[in-house]
């Protein structure tokens, strides 16, 4: 990623002012390295834009993108709220001492244990996803003699991917209540009868890695079409509208995302028009960026090992990680940029494909990218791996999970230790 391509006088790639070859020696590879100043910059781009527009807002970091105690501490320091989707993510938030009133819980199949944990810790809001959950939460709140603010997750019939969005009458999605077929209204009516649940408003999330504002604007219009009839029928106006996440980032030069304030401006503009049109109060706006907060703030460092050249076909170089630390190329055909970090000034003279070391042909990180000639022992840096890299990593082939380092003020700090082999097999029990 261009923004992180800083090179020192030795021709080494640096991140946050620190030489990547030093980091690789100190912490070994594969290694995730985050530039914390960039995380803060991204967070502030959202928070400050709402403030500048004079709009009450919560910017909830979608912790699924990268959840760790250190990361959530940074999110807390930046006054973000937090989106969690599991007990594990909530547990991490509690370990980070994240203010519970700023935690929102998602999930299309929340368990009793998850809901109980949320209620016990009195989190800020639960995003209701389905009818079963309404029954479960009602019972849990009664048992705990507690109350909960909730949003209703609705599917507005808009599916957005990068430049395209698809409009559908009824959305075929496992998440939320459909607006078009009346299920969202049915959920609303049901919730209105439950005193322990306070319907603060609606939530929708139309997709991920979105580059245009049209899909968001369309979603806002659809929400207000329904809200207008809810106002008429039930005299209800929402206090909160949560428009989800999905703001795109640049992985390669093919990607042309907007500046982060561009998404916020478009959302606020449209909501302004809609509240005037429908004579409603301006709601508090919540958003849930994950990728846009962390995606372009990290690189992954790998050590180059074997090479395989197939004349007339392809040159492969293999590194010491792969789909275990970045499943996205294999799963979504996601593209990344990379350079040899120890030869960062050497012009790309070859076209190489970067393979991981898992026992699977699909374990590829990059296909046919321009690179300087790689030799065993070289250091490869893959850019923009901050979102859905570590968080989706696995122990396939019993590889230990990578380590994660944060850089701030030119200081490196280990924030997730490299897993040991003992840890990889820690749950195994003997059968002898």
Binding site for ligand LLP (CB under 6 A): 62, 65, 83, 106, 205, 208-209, 244-247, 288-292, 328, 332, 387-388
Cα gap 118→83, rounded to integer Å: 12
Burial class (CB in 10 A: 0-12, 13-18, 19+), 252: middle
Contacts 24+ apart (CB under 8 A), 303-307: 303/24, 303/29, 303/377, 303/378, 303/379, 303/380, 304/340, 304/374, 304/375, 304/376, 304/377, 304/378, 304/379, 304/380, 305/357, 305/376, 306/376, 307/374, 307/376
DSSP character string of 206-221: -EEEE--SHHHHHHHH
Phi-psi region for residue 217, left (φ > 0), alpha (ψ -120 to 50) or beta?
alpha
Could you tell me the two tokens for 187? 């959920």
Report the residue number, 64 or 76, with the smaller CB distance to ligand LLP: 64
Burial class (CB in 10 A: 0-12, 13-18, 19+), 329: buried
Cα gap 125→104, rounded to integer Å: 5
Among candidate residues 125, 204, 358, 359, the one labeled active-site is: 359
Nearest distance in Å: CB 206, ligand LLP: 10
Nearest distance in Å: CB 171, ligand LLP: 14
Nearest distance in Å: CB 84, ligand LLP: 11
358 classed as catalytic: no
Residues 6+ apart with CB under 8 A from 57: 47, 50, 284, 285, 286, 287
Nearest distance in Å: CB 332, ligand LLP: 6
Report the residue number, 266 or 348, with the smaller CB distance to ligand LLP: 266
Report the residue number, 29 or 208, with the smaller CB distance to ligand LLP: 208
Closest listed residue to residue 20, CA positions, set 305, 383, 269: 383
Closest listed residue to residue 51, CA positions, set 385, 270, 285: 285
What is the phi/psi pair of residue 271, to 5°? -65, -40
Cα gap 389→403, rounded to integer Å: 12
Report the residue number, 12 or 328, with the smaller CB distance to ligand LLP: 328
Nearest distance in Å: CB 97, ligand LLP: 23
Report the residue number, 224 or 247, with the smaller CB distance to ligand LLP: 247
Report the residue number, 66 or 302, with the smaller CB distance to ligand LLP: 66
Report the residue number, 185 or 288, with the smaller CB distance to ligand LLP: 288
Residue pair 169/193 in contact (Cβ under 8 Å)? The answer is no
Report the residue number, 250 or 343, with the smaller CB distance to ligand LLP: 250
The β-bridge relationship of strands 31-35 and 298-310 is: antiparallel
Cα gap 143→133, rounded to integer Å: 15
Cα gap 71→387, rounded to integer Å: 12
Nearest distance in Å: CB 326, ligand LLP: 9
Closest listed residue to residue 148, CA positions, set 182, 180, 95, 110: 110
Nearest distance in Å: CB 184, ligand LLP: 16
Which DSSP symbol is given to 266? H
Residue pair 154/203 in contact (Cβ under 8 Å)? The answer is yes
Nearest distance in Å: CB 395, ligand LLP: 18
What is the phi/psi pair of residue 70, to 5°? -60, -45
Instruction: Give me the active site residues, please.
Output: 359
């Amino acid at each position: 990623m261009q923004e992180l391509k800083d090179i020192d006088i030795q021709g080494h790639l640096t991140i946050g002012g620190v030489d990547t070859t030093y980091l690789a020696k100190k912490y070994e590879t594969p290694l995730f390295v985050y530039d914390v100043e960039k995380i803060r910059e991204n967070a502030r781009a959202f928070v400050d834009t709402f403030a500048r527009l004079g709009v009450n807002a919560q910017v909830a970091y979608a912790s699924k993108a990268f959840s760790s105690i250190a990361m959530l501490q940074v999110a807390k320091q930046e006054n973000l709220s937090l989106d969690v989707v599991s007990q594990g993510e909530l547990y991490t938030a509690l370990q980070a001492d994240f203010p519970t009133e700023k935690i929102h819980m998602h999930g299309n199949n929340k368990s009793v244990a998850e809901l109980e944990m949320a209620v016990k810790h009195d989190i800020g809001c639960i995003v209701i996803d389905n009818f079963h959950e309404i029954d479960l939460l009602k019972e849990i709140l009664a048992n705990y003699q507690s109350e909960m603010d909730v949003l209703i997750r609705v599917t507005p019939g808009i599916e957005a991917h990068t430049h395209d969005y698809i409009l559908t009458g009824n959305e075929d999605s496992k998440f939320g209540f459909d607006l078009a077929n009346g299920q969202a209204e049915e959920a609303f009516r049901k919730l209105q009868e439950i005193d322990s649940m306070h319907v603060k408003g609606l939530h929708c999330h139309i997709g991920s890695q979105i580059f245009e504002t049209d899909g968001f604007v369309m979603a806002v219009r659809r929400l207000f079409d329904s809200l207008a009839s809810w106002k008429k029928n039930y005299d209800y106006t929402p206090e909160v509208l949560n428009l989800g996440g999905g703001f795109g980032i640049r992985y390669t030069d093919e990607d042309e995302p907007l500046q982060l304030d561009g998404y916020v401006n478009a959302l606020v503009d449209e909501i302004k028009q809609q509240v005037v049109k429908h004579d409603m109060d301006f709601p508090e706006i919540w958003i849930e960026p994950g990728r846009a907060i962390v995606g372009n703030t990290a690189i992954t460092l790998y050590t180059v090992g074997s090479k395989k050249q197939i004349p007339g076909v392809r040159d492969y170089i293999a590194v010491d990680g792969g789909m275990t630390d970045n499943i996205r190329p294999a799963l979504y055909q996601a593209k990344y940029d990379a350079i040899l970090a120890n030869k960062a000034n050497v012009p790309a003279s070859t076209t190489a494909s970067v393979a991981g070391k898992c026992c699977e042909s699909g374990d590829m990180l990059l296909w046919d990218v321009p690179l300087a000639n790689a030799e065993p022992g070289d250091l490869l840096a893959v850019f923009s791996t901050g979102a859905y890299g570590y968080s989706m990593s696995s122990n396939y082939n019993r590889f230990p999970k990578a380590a994660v380092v944060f850089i701030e003020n030119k200081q490196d700090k280990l924030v997730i230790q490299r897993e040991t082999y003992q840890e990889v097999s820690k749950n195994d029990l003997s059968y002898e």
